[in-house]
Structure 1
Amino acid sequence: MSDKLFGTDGVRGRANVYPMTADMALRLGAAAGRYFRRDGTSTHRVVIGKDTRLSGYMFENAMTAGFTSTGMNVLLLGPVPTPAVGLLTHSMRADVGVMISASHNPHHDNGIKFFGPDGFKLSDDAEAEIEALTMSGVEPAQAQNIGRAKRIDDGRFRYNERIKATFPSGRRLDGLKVLVDCANGAAHRTAPEVLWELGAEVIPVGVTPNGLNINEKCGSTHTDTAAAAVVAHGADVGICLDGDADRVMIIDETGKVADGDQIMALFASRWAEEGRLKNGTLVATVMSNLGLERYLDGRGLKLERTPVGDRYVVEAMRRGGANLGGEQSGHIVMTDYATTGDGLLAGLQFLAAMVETGKPASSLIQTFERVPQLLKNVRFETGQRPLETDSVRAAIADAEARLVGNGRLLIRKSGTEPLIRVMAECEDDVLLNDVVDGVVAAVEAAT
């Protein structure tokens, strides 16, 4: 992994192993507190949310200690979706928001994400300053200026009301049987509540967190469980969230799964027809399928690509004035409604499309024909740099040459796990498998 603390989505790693230790969380809290409390006044506050991981208790307490040590007042939200932290940071006039979560990772991992006072994730420059303060240490507040901590009991309900307000006025979900898989994570109460209050018959899955089962054989990265349940229960549609509910996968009534690319294509085409897709542009990452790009181009719409990470998608959207973006992995960002990816919000917008068109989910999830895409991951050890070896560089150059005019190759190091991701797209399946396997073999040999 990188020597930097911050990756593509905050600080992340295995709980109780550097950098995800209680000591580091305390230092990060103190550094962020000092960064956002530079004027020395006593009115500064931070909101802290978390998902359902066992280690969340430890990090919540450590960060509270860090923030209060620099004079920040802490508002504790408890388990809430990541987008709720972005929303409540802004609406509660906080200086900074923190989400303690490792998103779709297993329970033994955890992470720390920061939001600015506008509810958007911090810039690279802000993270770099906080990282520097973390490493150098900060001067604590004087005893009389230590901050206070207070638990906020209605944070979830504030988010619920805001998210329901995004559903088309006068519309309801009466008559729809909706399965929602909450991944035993942060939305295990929120998502079923919102869907039921809008009138749906709700079939909840993954709503019994025990601190250790978050994302375990459920949620947006393990859709087989929900797909089978949709068919078994005769549900009209399935909504699969991840551990912190900022991702979504949609399952139709036959059990077929739609990823973020298909969902974005549907939203982009509908919004364009309604005249509300700003600048005729969808922002997505380099991982999005070539078929999505071709689909948009055929409708006179533009696909703008960014590096992997929903924060980079949001930065590009804000820079260019776009209001729709996301990732193939299921982060869907709609800045008309939210400051970050929101799986439940995207699920509601899909349900709105079903209600307004009268069409079943199966007729909405296959918006474009995907170009065959293959992704393989190679794990490496800390300190190794396989992409810098001559043999790997040669294998990548050979693969790129073979794909010229036929597809594309993307090699990148994960920002959240010690993995090299090897992805290619090509309509020739034999060539596709051959080039990916060739690069993977070279990377494995170098680790």
Structure 2
Amino acid sequence: MSGELELLNGRLHGIANTVLVPELMAELGGVLGTVLGERAVVVTARDNYPPSRMLKRALSSGLMSTGVTVIDFHAATTPELVFAIKRLGAKAGIQFTVSPIERDGVMVKMFDSHGVEYSRERMEDLLERMKSGRIVRSLPRFIGWVTYAEYVHDIYSAAVVSYVDAPAIAEGGLKLVCDANFGPSSEVLPSILSELGVESIFLNSHKPPAQRGVSHMPSPEAIEALSRIVKASGASLGAALCADATRVLIIDDKGKPLTSEELAGILLSSVPRGARVAISEAMGGLVDEVARERGVRLVRIRGSRHELLRTARRLGSPAVFTCGGEVAFTDFSLSFDGMLTTIKVMEAAVKAGEELSEMRSALPTVPTVRSSVRLGDEDYLKVVGTLHRMYKDSFLTVRGLRVRVGSAWVSVEARRGRIEMVGEDTEGAKEAVEKRSRTVRAVIREIRAAR
């Protein structure tokens, strides 16, 4: 049965109760527990999606059967999970969250004792062990325990407040509109903002509506609504978080979303001159221009998040940026953290004494090439998922994905009723955008034909 499991970007993906079934999760827990050893400690968490809860409990039973103690955070974000791993002396951490590329899917993230996500090779080794059935069960008297760490939100909140310049933020008179995307960030972020004196409005801060599909990223309609509310309410900024709070799309005070490059450009203002900063290879040229202006050395990393974060640790990089709205502040945690990113943007704006839109306008302008394909009533996630499986050199983003076409990178972004292709206006960019537009049209035709 383990041969049916799919690794995508080194993470387990699958439709709940079709591919990812409780029996397989219990088996995987037994394999992982055998590798970690009896009396090891593992921390687990999930989002608010019911299948995530079911599969987490199944995996926990497998861990217990090998003598592993499970510290269960119940509904908690990935940043909280990773932050707690080293502090609790855990040998691993496991997060269950809704898949970013398909309806009814679940994604499983595994982290080592340092908080670095497992490499693809390490995940493949676990699956090979499942095939061979190499599980060492404990004697009944040594079966592991499950405990609930109800204080995880408080520990993380206190750490964030002490990490940022809380007095400066409190004096800024800021107002945030945040779409929690039905995730557990709604359990922790409001209290942090309250401690920082930030007024907030939260959207989709409850559990997912019953018997309705949810997505890892906020939908195009949700992002449009957030932009309108930011403008109408006179908020300082908006933030659209993914289900486990590792990614964020920042909206400025004019209701305009920031690109990943603009987000990095603003946050580089707090990086010391001469520092080396790790970024994913698909980041655009705007970041290079900002880094030159501010005396920061960029190191582009090809490969997985594991490679990116491992290299960042070796370089001593104070921050890590990807093209997918992911930012990690390594002296705080090795987790990409959309909540902390949002607060650091507020901190940067307050210290600059400017509105976020003004800071954005001061960034270098990079010309782009665009093309649009009408989507109709097709599910944008099917388009994104199909493209992501088609191309090895592709990275998921908050609004879709970024794909390599020759020497160029093209962003494929889901908007209301359409898919938009965007590339920096460099040599060959126009042809790359048109080529990817043709691919998107072909994928949409296939989806229509399969209905």
TM class, shorter-length: 0.7 to 0.9
Q: Which residue of 2 aligns with 1:335?
A: 330
Of 80-89 and 141-150, deviating more is 141-150
Instruction: Answer yes or no: is 1:27 the counterpart of 2:27.
Output: yes
Question: How far apart are residue 15 of structure 1 and its match?
Answer: 1.4
Q: 1:48 to 1:231 in 2, by over 3 A?
A: same
Counterpart mapping for 1:404-415 below 5 A: 408-409=408-409
Question: How far apart are residue 7 of structure 1 and its match?
Answer: 2.7
Instruction: Answer yes or no: is 1:99 the counterpart of 2:98.
Output: no
Q: Which residue of 1 aligns with 2:258?
A: 258
Instruction: Answer yes or no: is 1:247 the counterpart of 2:244.
Output: no
Secondary structure, aligned partner of 1:6: strand
Question: How far apart are residue 9 of structure 1 and its match?
Answer: 5.0
**Partner residue of 1:171 out of 168, 172, 175:** 168
Q: Distance in 2 between matches of 1:112 and 1:216?
A: 12
Q: 1:65 to 1:319 in 2, by over 3 A?
A: same
Counterpart mapping for 1:33-52 below 5 A: 33-37=33-37, 40=38, 42=39, 44-52=40-48
Q: Which residue of 1 aligns with 2:377?
A: none
Instruction: Answer yes or no: is 1:269 the counterpart of 2:269.
Output: yes
Question: How far apart are residue 446 of structure 1 and its match?
Answer: 11
Q: 1:261 to 1:373 in 2, by over 3 A?
A: farther
- Identity, in percent, stands at 20
| Contact kept? 2:28, 2:130, Cα under 8 Å | yes
Q: 1:354 to 1:194 in 2, by over 3 A?
A: same
Q: How many residues align?
A: 410
The two structures have a TM-score, normalised by structure 2, of 0.81
Instruction: Answer yes or no: is 1:64 the counterpart of 2:60.
Output: yes
Q: Distance in 2 between matches of 1:68 and 1:246?
A: 28
Question: How far apart are residue 36 of structure 1 and its match?
Answer: 0.9
Q: Which residue of 1 aligns with 2:232?
A: 232
Q: Which residue of 2 aligns with 1:393?
A: none
Secondary structure, aligned partner of 1:121: coil
Question: How far apart are residue 112 of structure 1 and its match?
Answer: 1.3
Q: Which residue of 1 aligns with 2:308?
A: 313
- Aligned-residue CA RMSD (Å): 3.4
Q: Distance in 2 between matches of 1:381 and 1:284?
A: 23
- Provide Cα deviations, 1:253-308, integer angstroms capped at 9, x if missing partner: 11011132211122223313xx4xxx533322232123323443455533322346
Counterpart mapping for 1:178-189 below 5 A: 178-189=176-187
Q: Which residue of 2 aligns with 1:351?
A: 346
Of 360-369 and 53-62, deviating more is 360-369
The two structures have a TM-score, normalised by structure 1, of 0.81
Q: Distance in 2 between matches of 1:103 and 1:443?
A: 20
Question: How far apart are residue 96 of structure 1 and its match?
Answer: 1.1
Secondary structure, aligned partner of 1:328: coil
- Provide Cα deviations, 1:3-42, integer angstroms capped at 9, x if missing partner: 7743325212221221x221221122111111111xx4x3
Counterpart mapping for 1:26-175 below 5 A: 26-37=26-37, 40=38, 42=39, 44-102=40-98, 104=100, 108-137=104-133, 138-168=135-165, 170-174=167-171, 175=173
Secondary structure, aligned partner of 1:170: helix
State the one-letter code of the partner of 1:68.
M
Q: 1:411 to 1:359 in 2, by over 3 A?
A: closer
- Provide Cα deviations, 1:319-374, integer angstroms capped at 9, x if missing partner: 32222112122110110111110001111111111221221111223533234266
Q: 1:130 to 1:267 in 2, by over 3 A?
A: same
Which 5+ residue runs of structure 2 have no aligned equivalent? 374-382, 393-404, 413-419
**Partner residue of 2:275 out of 280, 283, 288:** 280
State the one-letter code of the partner of 1:6.
L
